[in-house]
Amino acid sequence: MTIDDLIRAALDRAAAVAPDPQRIHANLAGRMRRFHRRRMLLAVAGGMAVVLAAAAGILGWHLRPAEYTLATRPIGCHVSIFFQPDATPEQIQGSGAGLARMPEVIQFAYESKNQAYENFKEMFKDAPDLVASVHPDTLPSAYRITVRDLAAARIVIARFQSSPGVSDVVEHDCRLRTR
């Protein structure tokens, strides 16, 4: 008897001791019920997972500004949006509304021409010649914005640099004080 014959004989033997098909057939119904139940369970679990993920996402969305402020309060990275002298109040308010919707913006404040001049005078009070050379009307009105880091600053810049009424958007302090 060669090894090939022996292998064939052994495999025939395995076929001969195969389980009873009748019993398998009889057990099939229960197995199918379990299968469909499992599938249904999986579908339900999958649906629940989706709902939970969505809920977590919404919750995260609502918690996000608070986390932002907490994590970044000590860091000063600023963006200024300067308006053209002939920018309309609507254009300025529109930009303000846009800022309020941006997740990158931690806080922002409007600075009118007059306030800008007052701040300028305060900042350069040691140089009266410089102050004297600037007319109160030359300084543009602006939004002074606090953001988390340079990346956020760049998003704000990209968003507003070609908005109507805007003359210039610049970032400052970011490279000095953030990571």
Q: How far is the CB of 16 from another protein (least distance, A)?
A: 7
Query: Are 164 and 93 in contact, with CB atoms under 8 Å apart?
Result: no
Q: How far is the CB of 49 from another protein (least distance, A)?
A: 21
Helix (H, G, I), strand (E, B) or coil at 78: strand
Give Cβ neighbours of residue 132 (< 8 Å, ≥ 6 apart). Answer: none
Is 6 an interacting residue with respect to another protein (CB under 8 A)?
yes
Q: How far is the CB of 46 from another protein (least distance, A)?
A: 17
Nearer to another protein, 9 or 151 (CB): 9
Helix (H, G, I), strand (E, B) or coil at 169: strand
Q: How far is the CB of 27 from another protein (least distance, A)?
A: 7
Task: With CB under 8 A as the rule, give the number of residues binding another protein.
Answer: 27
Nearer to another protein, 28 or 58 (CB): 28
Is 10 an interacting residue with respect to another protein (CB under 8 A)?
yes
Is 24 an interacting residue with respect to another protein (CB under 8 A)?
yes
Q: Provide Rg for the chain, Cα atoms.
A: 35
Nearer to another protein, 6 or 158 (CB): 6
Query: Are 75 and 178 in contact, with CB atoms under 8 Å apart?
Result: yes
Residue 160 burial (10 A CB sphere; 0-12, 13-18, 19+): buried
Q: Pick the binder of another protein from 35, 49, 134, 138 (CB under 8 A).
A: 35
- 92-129 core/surface letters (b: 16 or more CB in 10 A; e: else): beebeebbeebebbbebebbebeebbeebeeeeeeeee
Point out which span in 20-28, 71-79, 82-90, 98-106 binds another protein (CB under 8 A): 20-28
Residue ranges binding another protein (CB under 8 A): 1, 3-4, 6-19, 21, 23-25, 27-28, 31-32, 35-36
